[in-house]
């Protein structure tokens, strides 16, 4: 075994250390960060080199097969194919795609994901081993990229991570003329970006850029809501930005979304991700309109879907919440959206990254409100917070916020 070479990108900020970031996230309850740290420690260079060589050969052979196929059809690469011709193309492309996505090693060279994603980008522009721009919509690669490792692996170049989320090669954004796959940060956020959204390999500066993008005017990023909220590297400042934007209710909306493949259930964007997909079995006993319900006994107490549902149950038991008990109304609730952000804020105080004494003078009304309802706070401090201004929540909603301070599972992936 050889040590993994971690690269850097100046956009992550001076002194960014991926391994230290993962260790810190793990110390605050991130199971994913722990798995990634172990992957780095167990990195096998020979395994990574062997897999990379195999992918290089596969891409070269597949590109040549596609060119020869179109020559045989006597057609240009961007011309329309008939049904039989399209079936032949699909057979070649699917075979290559399956080999890439189903045979990845535990260790990857930084260059490997760059190679694979670069080849996909080529396919969106004209043609590549993933097919042609004219026919790319026939292949479900966006889903497969998420499963392949963008939420599981630390073995991705920092520059590539930036370029495929915020840079010039947002290969699932629709910003390229040949790409079919829709808006990166809008309502149709593909699963591959949901997988990136909660990953602890994202630096604080990159998180700030993503937040700036999704809080922009006219952006409906409800599908990214909950995966982003559980990112271990979100800071209190990030959360304040989200709370003070017009985006806050989107977290309520994100909770209310059923999985894209289901007609019922909640936390759709989390359930779409393999790590939390086991929650869908519980939804079979729910009705389409249900916002809370029973979960299978074998679903762990700290499963994020179960945790979010517990928060929703607390809010829906209040007078304010009961008046918003439909999927449509709760999905528009600024109060519930702020509650979800506040529960994530508490994690920052519990970990010690945010200090109560330092935030008593916070300029954020949601932070002041969260501290106001903190059990055991000195009455004089509570009065000072009230004078500075707190959210207009009633006693019942305040009790829901107070519950956030009690011992409970982490809202950190």
Mean per-residue pLDDT for 30-43? 92
**Is the model's pLDDT at 78 over the cut of 90?**
no
**Is the model's pLDDT at 232 over the cut of 60?**
yes
Q: Which of 233, 225, 210, 399 is nearest to 304 (CA)?
A: 225
Last residue of a domain, one of 181, 216, 231: 181
Mean per-residue pLDDT for 218-242? 88
Residue 5 belongs to some domain of the structure: no
CB-based contacts of 398: which residues, under 8 Å, 6+ apart? 372, 373
Reported as a pLDDT band with limits 50, 70 and 90, residue 176 is: very low
Shared domain check, 248 and 166: no
Q: What is the mean pLDDT of the chain?
A: 86
**Is the model's pLDDT at 101 over the cut of 80?**
no
Longest CA–CA span in the chain (Å) reads 82
Please give the DSSP secondary-structure letter assigned to residue 138: G
Residue 193 belongs to some domain of the structure: no
**Is the model's pLDDT at 168 over the cut of 80?**
no
131-135, 158-162, 209-213, 231-235: the lowest-pLDDT one:
131-135
**Is the model's pLDDT at 182 over the cut of 60?**
no
Mean per-residue pLDDT for 235-247? 91
Shared domain check, 157 and 234: no
Shared domain check, 306 and 364: yes
18-22, 101-105, 259-263: the lowest-pLDDT one:
101-105
- Report pLDDT digits (tens) over 274-305: 889 999 999 999 999 999 999 999 999 999 99
Rounded to 5 degrees, what angle do the CA atoms 187, 308, 287 make? 75
β-bridge pairing 131-132 and 127-128: antiparallel
Residue 188 backbone dihedrals phi, psi, to 5 degrees: -90, 25
Shared domain check, 224 and 152: no
Compare 248 and 191 and report the one with higher pLDDT: 248
Residue 192 belongs to some domain of the structure: no
**Is the model's pLDDT at 194 over the cut of 90?**
no
Shared domain check, 327 and 212: yes
Q: Which residues of 382-407 are buried (b: 16+ CB within 10 A; e: fewer)?
A: beebeeeebbebeeebbebbbbbbee
Please give the DSSP secondary-structure letter assigned to residue 325: -
Shared domain check, 376 and 274: yes
What is the reported pLDDT for 249? 85
Helix-helix angle 365-372:236-244, to 10 degrees: 110
Residue 4 belongs to some domain of the structure: no
What is the reported pLDDT for 68? 94
How far is the C-alpha of 168 from the C-alpha of 88, rounded, in Å?
32
What is the reported pLDDT for 104? 61
How far is the C-alpha of 267 from the C-alpha of 112, rounded, in Å?
32
**Is the model's pLDDT at 173 over the cut of 50?**
no
Shared domain check, 174 and 220: no
CA dist list (Å): 199 to 57, 147, 244, 265: 30, 13, 24, 24
What's the distance, CA 243 to chain centroid? 18
Q: Give kind and range of the element (H or E) at residue 93.
A: helix 83-102
Helix (H, G, I), strand (E, B) or coil at 283: helix
Compare 162 and 240 and report the one with higher pLDDT: 240
* End-to-end Cα spacing for the chain: 29
Q: Which of 347, 338, 405 is nearest to 376 (CA)?
A: 405
Shared domain check, 395 and 312: yes
Q: How many CB atoms lie within 10 A of CB 93?
A: 26
Mean per-residue pLDDT for 120-145? 70
CB-based contacts of 391: which residues, under 8 Å, 6+ apart? 338, 365, 366, 369
Domain of residue 98, residue span = 15-181
2-6, 46-50, 178-182, 234-238: the lowest-pLDDT one:
178-182
**Is the model's pLDDT at 252 over the cut of 50?**
yes
Shared domain check, 210 and 171: no
Q: Which of 379, 349, 347 is nearest to 362 (CA)?
A: 349
What is the reported pLDDT for 1? 46
Total domain count for the chain?
2
Residue 412 belongs to some domain of the structure: no
Shared domain check, 357 and 221: yes
Residue 409 belongs to some domain of the structure: no
What is the reported pLDDT for 175? 38
What is the reported pLDDT for 137? 58
Q: Dig out the tokens for 54 from the structure.
A: 């195999």
**Is the model's pLDDT at 311 over the cut of 90?**
yes
Shared domain check, 223 and 79: no
What is the reported pLDDT for 316? 98
Residue 147 belongs to some domain of the structure: yes
Residue 201 belongs to some domain of the structure: no
Shared domain check, 297 and 172: no
- Report pLDDT digits (tens) over 42-74: 999 998 899 899 999 999 999 999 999 999 999
Compare 96 and 411 and report the one with higher pLDDT: 411
């Amino acid at each position: 075994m050889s040590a993994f070479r971690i690269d850097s990108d100046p956009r992550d900020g001076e002194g960014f250390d991926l391994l230290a970031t993962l260790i810190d996230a793990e110390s605050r309850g991130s199971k994913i960060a722990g798995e990634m740290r172990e992957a780095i420690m167990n990195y096998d260079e020979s395994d990574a080199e062997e897999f990379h060589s195999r992918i290089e050969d596969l891409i070269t052979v597949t590109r040549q097969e596609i060119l020869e196929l179109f020559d045989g059809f006597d057609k240009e690469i961007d011309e329309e194919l008939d049904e039989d011709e399209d079936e032949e193309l699909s057979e070649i492309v699917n075979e290559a795609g399956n080999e890439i996505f189903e045979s990845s090693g535990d260790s990857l060279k930084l260059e490997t994901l760059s190679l694979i994603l670069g080849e996909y980008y080529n396919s969106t522009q004209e043609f590549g081993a993933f097919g042609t721009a004219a026919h790319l919509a026939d292949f479900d690669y966006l889903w497969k990229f998420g499963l392949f490792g963008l939420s599981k692996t630390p073995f991705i170049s920092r520059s590539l991570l930036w370029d495929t989320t915020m840079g010039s090669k947002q290969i699932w954004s629709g910003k390229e003329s040949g790409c079919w796959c829709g808006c990166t940060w809008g309502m149709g956020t593909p699963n591959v970006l949901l997988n990136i959204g909660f990953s602890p390999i994202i630096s604080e500066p990159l998180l700030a850029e993503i937040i700036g993008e999704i809080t922009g005017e006219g952006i409906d990023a409800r599908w990214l809501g909950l995966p982003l909220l559980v990112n271990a590297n979100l800071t209190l400042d990030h959360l304040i930005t989200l709370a003070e934007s017009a985006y806050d209710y989107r977290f309520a909306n994100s909770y209310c979304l059923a999985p894209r493949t289901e007609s019922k259930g909640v936390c759709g964007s989390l359930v779409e991700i393999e790590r939390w997909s086991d929650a869908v079995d519980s939804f079979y006993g729910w009705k389409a309109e249900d916002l809370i319900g029973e979960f299978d006994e074998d679903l762990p107490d700290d499963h994020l879907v179960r945790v979010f549902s517990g928060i929703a149950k607390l809010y829906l038991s209040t007078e304010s919440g009961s008046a918003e008990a439909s999927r449509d109304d709760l999905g528009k609730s600024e109060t519930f959206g702020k509650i979800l952000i506040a529960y994530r804020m508490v994690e920052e105080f519990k970990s010690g990254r945010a200090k109560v004494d330092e935030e008593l003078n916070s300029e954020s009304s949601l932070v002041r409100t969260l501290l106001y309802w903190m059990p055991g706070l000195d009455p004089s401090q509570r009065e000072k917070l009230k004078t500075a201004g707190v959210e207009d929540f009633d006693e019942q909603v305040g009790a829901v916020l107070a519950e956030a301070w009690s011992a409970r599972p982490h809202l950190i992936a």
